[in-house]
A and B are shown apart, each in its own frame.
Chain A
Amino acid sequence: MSSDHQNDSINVARTEQTETRVEKAEARAKQAEVRTEQAEARTEQAKTRTEQAEVRTEQAETRTEQAKTQTEQAETRMEKAEMRTEQAEANNQQGEIAAILLAAIVESSDDAIIGKDLGSIVTTWNKGAENIFGYSAGEMVGTSILRLIPTNRHDEENYILRAIKRGKNVEHFETQRQTKDGRLIEVSITASPIKDVTGKVIGVSKVARDITGKKHAEAAWWTSELRYRTLFEHAPDGILIADPESYYLDANASMCRMLGYTRDELIGLHASDIVSQKEIQHIGPALTAINAESEYHQEWQLRRKDGSVFEAEVIATAMPDGNLLAMIRDITERKRAEAAAALLVAIVESSDDAIIGKDLRGIVTSWNVGAEKEFGYPASEMIGQSITRLIPPELREGEEKILGRIERGESVRPYETRRMRKDGSIFAVSLTLSAIKDAAGQIVGASKVVRDITDHKKAEEKIRHLNTELEQRVIERTAELEAANKELEAFSYSVSHDLRAPLRAVDGFSQAVLEDYGPQLPEEGQRYLKTIRQGAQKMGVLIDDLLTFSRLSRAPLDKQEVNTDKLVRAVLDDLSSQQERRQVELRVGELPMCAGDPALLKQVWMNLLSNALKYTQKREAAVVEIGCEAKPEGKVYFVRDNGTGFDMRYAAKLFGVFQRLHRAEDYEGTGVGLAIVQRIVHRHGGKIWADAAIDRGATFYFTLEGETML
């Protein structure tokens, strides 16, 4: 319970506090409004004051000059007065002295000091009046003041007299008066009543000041105002005028363009309306700073009417009237350029390569981190120093020549040379030099990218070493191969002669027996001898095929341009003489030229085509198709038959030596033909493959790559 009470009372207290705070806030708001109004009023006043102050300043300058002259005159006059005073003293008449003093003051004034009675008749006329109006005292005293007043302004005299009669002063009444020579001059008149001892107004003292000069100054001010106005309006930078609390009073066209507001929209807005959200908190401190500093210069992020933001440079100052003047420049482009430049700097700085700038005398102007790492000198030790300390002494002359070429605008290709580190060690580098040009295109120096290629050089050396080693190995291997080849050749030679010799004996003597003793042999014996001869002859063919096959690996290719069409037709002619009794439909498509060894290619076509004929021999209507297809991998020649085909499961065995997919009693052959074909195709850098199905024919494809080697 008690805690509830407490809470209640606390709540009441809080409510009261809140109310009080609200009231205070309201009061403060009111005060603020009042202050705003006051500020606005002050602004207006200040504006006027500023204008007046400027005018006065000019007048004051003029007057200072005049005053100098007057002071001199006055001094002269004072001297005279002093002399007179001395005389007066001599006369021992104190009153007279005072009168003389007053007279002297009146006399010495540049203003016209005129006394007149209430009927406007001039009673006194000082030197100033003489100077301003041109009339002497003799001419004016006793005459009407109206002769000085232009006819259309005669009423003024009545107005002044009425005021004086009421005992009032007329102060700084600006009007025009006419001089003796008829000129109208601008004057400021102050009129005061002259009273007798009883206090009755008996006349008017009038001080007239020639303000023609001032009027001119005003005209000059207007000219000046116009000039500043023009400047304000046409300045490329935005200009804002704000009251001390940063409400805008005026803005120029550039400012309006920059922010996207019309002038009317902009006037009355507050700084918080044109800065980005995150900058609003900085307005208060900024106003303080502007008032405290003679020059305020900051970057701000401003917000356009459409909400987009941009970077701006703000120069602001408090004006004498308390208002603020701000000049605003859109620096988006500059920021972008700065960012780009910063990026370049970052790139240069983060590069592992040494990037060095130097002028045409070879003095280092920039030195990145890469350069520090590579050479061991910090930037502070290199900038301003000659680049030659990095160059080994024996290379310096050459470097000067290269710098000379850069200076003449010649381009220098990247080159490899040596450089010296701070510790004196020499290392291999790759150098890229480019001219640095100033804005006018004049070459002012060179940028140099230096890359340490020690590792690169080492790698190169290693590669060279490996290459040499490899070459040596190739030579050795080639020698081994050549030796092996020689051996193989000898072997083949041996096979062809020695292996064949016993065969010859078998065949030859079998024949001799048949010829010489055949009739004495039973028929069975004759058949045996014939079988012996067939076996021997078959073995002779096998030996021949093997020799052909082995020769293919060894004989050099005699590559030339081959007319495939002609070659194929020649082969077909050869074959047709052996196929006289058969009906074979030959379809020969277009066969483009190729590059290869004509004798070997003839062997290829011979083997493929004789195979096609062989395996179609059991067909009533044998068809052999020959052609060439253009494929991405090149020209693909093919031989297609509708013969007995083969089982694709055994395709891998197709091109092996002595591999046969058919029985000898079905189709004769040694099983070397396709092995020879494949060997030749491979030696030409080509490929061979087949596509077939049992009893549905076979197609052999081959390419002859490496034709460009021709």
Chain B
Amino acid sequence: MSETNSVEILLVEDNPQDVELAQRALRKANLTNRIQIVRDGAEALDFIFCEGTHAARRIEDTPKVILLDLKLPKVDGLEVLKRIKADPRTRAIPVVMLTSSKEQNDVVESYKLGVNSYIVKPVNFEGFVEAVQQLGMYWLLLNQPPKLQE
């Protein structure tokens, strides 16, 4: 939960049990100390765009991947996704959507907005690895930050 300059995974999730299950899956992938967790859409936007409680952060220190729940208090997941993909500074950040069901129409909407992948909750190790493979994010596992164009 500590705010560092080298956040590799931003987990946006309001359900503490889901958070715990996600953390467990990530821990199994040895990524525990690189996770930033925010509990609603508004806080997610503050973090990403360095506003509010996260104003001290530098926007250039983008997370390497964002795991974004669809249904969030205050600002929902689709709105957050839209804002990320609409801003040139954050557009390149890979976003993985966390969905409750594969059947969700929101999945379609998410893809329209430019989501890079999705994981059906609960987030387990296998699911996470699969998503990472889909994204081709070997660099993340190899601890090599991507070269951002901006």
Interface residues of A (CB under 8 A from B): 493, 496-497, 500-501, 504-505, 507-509, 511-512, 540, 543-544, 547-548, 551
Q: Give B14 Cβ to nearest chain A Cβ, in Å.
A: 10
Q: A508-B124, A511-B124 are in contact. Are A500 and B101 (CB under 8 A)?
A: yes
Please determine whether A497 and B18 come into contact, CB atoms closer than 8 angstroms: no
A residues near B105, Cβ cutoff 8 Å = 551
**Nearest CB of chain B from residue A673's CB, rounded to whole Å:** 15
Q: Within 8 Å CB of B24, what residues of A?
A: 512
B121 interface residue (CB < 8 Å to A): yes
The yes or no answer to B103 lying at the interface (CB within 8 A) is yes
Chain B 119-144 per-residue mask, 1 if CB under 8 angstroms from chain A, else 0: 00110100000000000000000000
Q: Which residue of B lies closest to A501 (CB)?
A: B15
Give the contacts of B56-106 with A (CB-CB under 8 A).
Answer: 70-71, 100-101, 103-105
The answer on a CB contact under 8 Å between A500 and B17 is no
Query: Residue of A at shortest CB range from B14?
Result: A501
- A493-B71, A508-B17, A511-B122 given; name 8 further pairs at CB < 8 Å: A497-B100, A501-B18, A504-B15, A505-B122, A508-B122, A511-B124, A548-B103, A551-B105
- Bound form: Cα–Cα A544–B120 in Å: 13
How far does the alpha carbon of A504 sit from the alpha carbon of B69 in the complex, in Å? 14
B50 contacts the other chain (CB 8 A): no
Contacts of A509 in B (CB 8 A): 17, 21
- For A511, the chain B residues whose CB sits under 8 A away are 122, 124
**Distance between Cα atoms of A507 and B120 in the complex (Å):** 13
**A501 CA / B103 CA spacing, docked (Å):** 16
Give the 4 A-B residue pairs with the shortest CB-CB distance, closest first.
Answer: A508-B122, A505-B17, A508-B21, A497-B71
Q: A483 to chain B: closest CB distance in Å?
A: 20
Instruction: Indicate if the CB atoms of B101 and A501 lie closer than 8 Å.
Output: no
| Contact A497–B103 (Cβ < 8 Å) | no
- In the complex, how many angstroms separate the beta carbon of A555 from the nearest chain B beta carbon? 8
Q: Are A504 and B21 in contact, CB atoms less than 8 angstroms apart?
A: yes
Q: Which residue of B lies closest to A493 (CB)?
A: B71
Chain A residues with CB under 8 Å of B101's CB are 496, 500, 540, 543-544, 547
B55 vs chain A, min Cβ distance (A): 31
Q: Is the CB of A496 within 8 A of B100?
A: yes
Measured CA separation A496–B122 after assembly (Å): 13
Residues from chain B with a CB closer than 8 A to the CB of A508 are 17-18, 21, 122, 124
Interface CB pairs A-B, < 8 A, 23:
A493-B71, A496-B100, A496-B104, A497-B71, A500-B100, A501-B100, A504-B100, A504-B121, A504-B122, A505-B17, A505-B18, A505-B122, A507-B122, A508-B18, A508-B124, A509-B17, A509-B21, A511-B122, A512-B21, A543-B101, A547-B101, A548-B103, A551-B103
Cβ–Cβ < 8 Å partners of B124 in chain A: 508, 511
Instruction: Across the interface, name the chain A residue whose C-beta is closest to B123.
Output: A508
Contacts of B18 in A (CB 8 A): 501, 504-505, 508
Contacts of A497 in B (CB 8 A): 70-71, 100
What separation, in Å, do the CA atoms of A540 and B101 have in the docked complex?
9
Q: Are A501 and B21 in contact (CB under 8 A)?
A: no
How far is A602 from B103 in the complex, measured between Cα atoms in Å? 15
Q: Which residues of B lie under 8 Å from residue A504 when comparing CB positions? A: 15, 17-18, 21, 100, 121-122
CA distance A392 to B11 in the complex (A): 85
Q: In the complex, what residue of chain A is closest to B22 when comparing beta carbons?
A: A508
> In the complex, are the beta carbons of A544 and B103 less than 8 A apart?
yes
Cα A493 to Cα B105 in complex, Å, equals: 10
What's the Cα separation between A544 and B100 when bound, in Å? 10
- Tell me which residues across on chain A come within 8 A of B21, comparing CB atoms: 504-505, 508-509, 512
Give, as a whole number of angstroms, the nearest-CB distance from A342 to chain B.
79
- When distances are taken between beta carbons in the complex, the residues of chain B under 8 Å from A496 are 100-101, 103-104
Least distance between B145 CB and chain A CB atoms (Å)? 30
Question: How far is A540 from B100 in the complex, measured between Cα atoms in Å?
Answer: 10
**With A and B bound together, what is the CA distance between A548 and B103 in angstroms?**
8
Nearest CB on A from B32, distance (A): 15
List chain A residues, Cβ under 8 A from B71: 493, 497
Interchain CB contact under 8 A, B17 and A501: yes
Residues of B within 8 A of A551 (CB): 103, 105
The residue in chain A whose Cβ has the minimal distance to the Cβ of B105 is A551
Q: Chain B contacts of A512 at CB under 8 A?
A: 21, 24
Residues of A within 8 A of B15 (CB): 501, 504
Nearest CB of chain A from residue B140's CB, rounded to whole Å: 23
B124 CB, min distance to chain A CBs, angstroms? 7
Residue of B nearest to A511 (CB): B124
Across-interface contacts of A544 in B (CB, < 8 A)? 101, 103
In the bound complex, how far is the Cα of B18 from the Cα of A560, in angstroms?
A: 42
Q: How far is the CA of A547 from the CA of B102 in the complex (A)?
A: 11
Complex Cα distance, B21 from A512, in Å, reads 8
* Complex CA–CA separation, A540 to B105 (angstroms): 17
Q: Are A547 and B17 in contact (CB under 8 A)?
A: no
CB distance from A551 to the nearest CB of B (A): 8
| Distance to closest chain A CB from B27 (angstroms) | 11
Residues of A within 8 A of B122 (CB): 504-505, 507-508, 511
CB distance from B60 to the nearest CB of A (A): 34
Report the minimal beta-carbon distance from B122 to chain A, rounded to whole angstroms.
4
Cα–Cα distance between A296 and B52 once the two chains are bound (Å): 128
Chain A's closest residue to B15 (CB) is: A501
C-alpha gap A224/B127 in the complex (Å): 134
B119 → chain A closest CB, angstroms: 12
Q: Quick one: closest A residue to B70, CB to CB?
A: A497
Residues of A within 8 A of B104 (CB): 496
**B80 CB to nearest A CB, Å:** 16
A509 to B17, CA, bound (A): 9
Question: Which one of A497, A509, A511, A544 has the highest number of Cβ atoms from chain B below 10 Å of its Cβ?
Answer: A497
How distant is A220 from chain B, measured CB to nearest CB, in Å? 121
CB neighbours of A548 from chain B (8 A) = 103
Quote the shortest CB–CB distance from A172 to chain B (angstroms).
Answer: 138
A195 to nearest B CB, angstroms? 159
**Residue in B closest to A494 when the chains form the complex, CB atoms:** B71
What is the CA–CA distance of A361 and B100 in the complex, to the nearest angstrom? 87
A507 to B70, CA, bound (A): 20
Min CB distance B41 to A, Å, is 14
Q: Which of chain B's residues have a CB closer than 8 A to the CB of A505? A: 17-18, 21, 122
The distance in angstroms between the C-alpha atoms of A497 and B76, with both chains bound, is: 13
Kindly list chain A residues whose C-beta atoms are within 8 Å of the C-beta of B17: 501, 504-505, 508-509
Tell me how far the C-beta of B150 lies from the nearest C-beta in chain A, rounded to whole angstroms.
34
How distant is A412 from chain B, measured CB to nearest CB, in Å? 61
Q: Which B residues lie within 8 Å of A540 (CB)?
A: 101
Residues of B contacting A547 with CB < 8 Å? 101, 103
Residues of chain B lying within 8 A (CB to CB) of residue A501 = 15, 17-18, 100
Question: A498's closest neighbor in chain B, by CB?
Answer: B71
Contacts of B70 in A (CB 8 A): 497
Residues of chain A contacted by B121 (CB below 8 angstroms): 500, 504
Q: Which residues of B contact A493 (CB under 8 A)?
A: 71
| Smallest CB gap from B28: residue in A | A515
Cα of A436 to Cα of B5 in the assembled complex, Å? 103
Cα–Cα distance between A285 and B124 once the two chains are bound (Å): 128
Q: Which residue of B lies closest to A543 (CB)?
A: B101
B45 CB to nearest A CB, Å: 20
A547 to B105, CA, bound (A): 11
The answer for the CA separation of A144 and B25 in the assembled complex, in Å, is: 182
Within 8 A of A (CB), among B13-44: 15, 17-18, 21, 24
Query: Bound state CA distance, A507 and B17, in angstroms?
Result: 11
